[in-house]
Chains A and B, each alone.
Chain A
Amino acid sequence: MISIFPSLLSGTVITLQLLVSSMFFGIIIGLIFAILRINKNPIINKFAYGYSYFFRGTPLLVQLYLIYYGLANIELLRNSFFWAIIKEPYWCAIIAFSLNTGAYTSEILRSAFQTIKKGYIEAAQSLGVTKKITFYRIQLPIAIKQSLPAYGNEVILMLKGTSLASVITIMDLMGEARKVNVLTFKPFEAFITAGIIYLFITFIIHNIIKFLEKKYGFQS
């Protein structure tokens, strides 16, 4: 048990790195696409819907393979400067995870935008507040606050999603556990220890979100 711990720990660091970077890019992508979704232009709207439909309607594993092996299959891409990014499994994973969580985040934010009471916006307008300021100062903060519980779930789902990184050679927590398994044929030690670590991270995320909800919680 003791001997497998250091390698699982180094895997945990990679897992957390993957999670934090993906969530960071995912929020940016999600916000952009949520704004596109509530846009009245049907083409922009459809495009944003198509993006979120694709990434929510297909398994993350397929998306990961498509980006890692699929894109590498395009010679044009291999000869361009993009190859420096696509070549690295780590970046492929972050691209796949960010696009995936971005799709879910955009849905969460969109529904939050749509449930904001019309009265707030009308009140702001009647006070002569510009549309831009209404958006940044009223709509956006309310939407973010309202999204917190659902977003907390999404972070946990993404943590679990990062375990797929091991299929594209990344030695994250899952990858290290699989390695211990194939080298020692002792599946339980490795997988159960990894499971406990994942549970522990889930527990921490859960509590951070709870804390944020309490602090910034929005009662409508």
Chain B
Amino acid sequence: MEEIMNVIKNIFLTVLLSLFLISNSNADKIKIGTEGAYPPWNSKDASGKLIGFEVELAWTLCRYIGQQCEIVEQDWDGMIPALTSKKFDAIMAGMSITDERMKTINFSQGYADEVASLAVMKGSDLEGIDTPEAVNLNLGGSSVNKAMKTLTSALSGKTVCTQIGTIHQNFLESGDVGKINLKTYKTQDEVNLDLTNGRCDVALAAAVAFTDYAEKSGKEVVLVGPTFSGGAFGNGVGVGIRKDDTKLLKAFNKAIDKARKDGHISRIAIKWFGFDASM
């Protein structure tokens, strides 16, 4: 019996010690949270490494700030709470700057434009939908209203899929496109899977998320309808930072300025998106 007691004591000590060690390593690094499941913004390759536009940009920005960084994985639906509970210090996860989010956290200036689009499988009856090429919800006016009307009737009764907690979900729930059957997923990867499986009639996400998927999977995913910006879609993608962390906010703003001027953001954007999405 003594033996069992000793074993249990040892387990306790080891666990407590390891918790302590883990919690004290990397204390002075800037920790950046990303999702790792939203290619080409951020994803993971088969060697387990985080890759993508934001991962590469994060390293550049850290170099400019002049501090060591560590990139931390975090599920999308826990991203903002993880930031506020100090699991990491900054979010770079394709997160658009919106008023709703600004109530809880701060954002740096935008570093990239995220253009949203609907996508369907080839052969869908939505393919021929007649709308302008781009809709900016900030502008309003008759052409935007007409486009929204066309969309409302085209999407009526359709199963529309999108990732949970995104600007895309906000837009679809806003009532601007009428009554749809909305399905929300934990990751964009899952949205893509169910779009190709046929569980979704149509999906909404960043346009590049679909084109990247179509290219890599060889599936016939095609963009339809207009590209969306403004309104619920926010004002570009920025670095999310805690409200009280003004020093880090300034540092990131400065670093983004520098990376924009010397062309780094454009170069990295072209490498991952195929076009210059910097802003």
- Proximity string of chain A (117-129) to chain B, C-beta cutoff 8 Å, 1 when within and 0 when not: 0000000000000
Contact B164 A178 (CB under 8 A): yes
B138: Cβ under 8 A from any A Cβ: no
Distance (whole angstroms) from the CB of A139 to the closest CB of chain B: 41
User: In B132-169, which residues have CB < 8 Å from any A CB?
Assistant: 161, 164-165, 169
Q: Which of A45-53, A102-110, A179-187, A198-206 contacts B (4 or more CB under 8 A)?
A: A179-187
B186 interfacial contact with A, CB 8 Å: yes
B residues neighboring A (CB under 8 Å):
77, 80-81, 101, 103-104, 161, 164-165, 169-170, 173, 183-186, 190, 193-194, 197-199
Residues of B within 8 A of A179 (CB): 164, 184
Closest chain A residue to B103, Cβ basis: A185
The answer to whether A182 touches B186, judged by C-beta atoms less than 8 angstroms apart, is no
B164 near A72 with CB under 8 A, answer no
Q: How far is the CA of A183 from the CA of B8 in the complex (A)?
A: 44
B77 touches A181 (CB 8 A): yes
What are the residues of chain B within 8 A of A169 when measuring CB–CB? 161, 183-185
The answer to whether B185 touches A178, judged by C-beta atoms less than 8 angstroms apart, is no
Q: Which residues of A contact B80 (CB under 8 A)?
A: 185
**Residue A167 CB within 8 A of the other chain:** yes
Dominant SS among interface residues on chain A: helix
- Taking residues whose C-beta sits less than 8 angstroms from the other chain, chain A's interface range is 10 to 19
9 A-B pairs with least C-beta separation: A182-B165, A72-B197, A169-B183, A185-B104, A182-B77, A182-B164, A87-B199, A185-B80, A69-B193
- Residue from A182, A183, A185 whose CB has the most chain B CB atoms within 10 Å: A182
Collect the chain B residues with CB atoms within 8 Å of residue A131's CB.
none
CA distance A178 to B75 in the complex (A): 13
Across the interface, do B77 and A178 meet the contact criterion of CB distance under 8 Å? yes
Q: How far is the CB of B53 from chain A (nearest CB, A)?
A: 24
Residues in B neighbouring A183, C-beta threshold 8 A: 165, 169-170, 173
Expressed in whole angstroms, the minimum distance between the Cβ of B118 and any Cβ of chain A is: 18
Q: Is the CB of B186 within 8 A of A78?
A: no
- With A69-B190, A185-B103 as contacts: A87 and B198 at CB distance below 8 Å: yes
